[in-house]
Amino acid sequence: MAQVIQGVFPGSFKTKTKKDEKPLPSYILHISITFSDPLIWRRIQVPGQLNLSHLHDVIQQSMGWSNSHVHQFLVGKICYEPTMKSTLLHESKRFDENKYRLYTLEDDMGFMFTYLYGAGEGWEHEIHLEEIVPPTKELKYPVILDGERACPPETVGDIHEYQGFLKAFETPGHKNHDRLFGLTRRADFDPAFFDIAAAKQRITSNFFRLAPAT
């Protein structure tokens, strides 16, 4: 299965900036792999001050991915992705995911919110904004609330290929019946099982390790 991500968050995670003087809401997001059947999904609650780069890390850890591929977000009608400081015109026109916090994208998140992971066909995630939680008690760190089914192995190209392996897995005697065991390198791999305790530990350990001093 995918390896645990360690120390991937860029810079210090700050709960407020000078511009963020009032408490901010948090967001409950339902994230599912598009076209998965049965649906592979996670539900998370994230602070409004998270930027899209941090959200990428939370999705990676909640799903069980290993941050091995390129990614981008489509929020509203704009694509956001990791960028590097550059004087090149095509680079300067890109929308840097590090510069956009969730609370500034609230309206667009309700319109269209997609997370793409992997080159080529890759893995498309549909993100549904389920609830805007008022800041009566400000959420400082992301939490995973629920989810179903295991993360597919990243050596599989996309959900359609994975569904084919699942069909073979569920068909005794099929020539590819044991293929998922080989791809995950786990003899106990269960596509129906989601280890929420492990997901919570991945998220908690990374955010608390980088927590700012108070």
pLDDT over 70 for what percent of the chain?
A: 80
Say which CATH class 26-149+196-209 falls into: alpha beta
Least trusted range by pLDDT, from 1-10, 54-63, 117-126, 158-167: 1-10
Q: What is the mean pLDDT of the chain?
A: 84
Split at pLDDT 50, 70, 90, the class of 121 is confident
Mapping DSSP to helix (H, G, I), strand (E, B) and coil, where does residue 122 land?
A: strand
User: Nearest 5°: phi and psi at 198?
Assistant: -65, -40
Among 40, 34, 65, smallest CA distance to 153 is for 65
Q: Do residues 73 and 161 make contact, with C-beta atoms less than 8 angstroms apart? A: no
Q: What DSSP element (H or E) covers 161?
A: helix 159-169
User: Nearest 5°: phi and psi at 95?
Assistant: -95, 115
Listed by start position, the domains of the chain span 26-149+196-209, 154-193
At 8 the pLDDT is 41
At 168 the pLDDT is 82
61-77 b/e (C-beta count within 10 Å ≥ 16 → b):
bbbbbbbeeebbbbbee
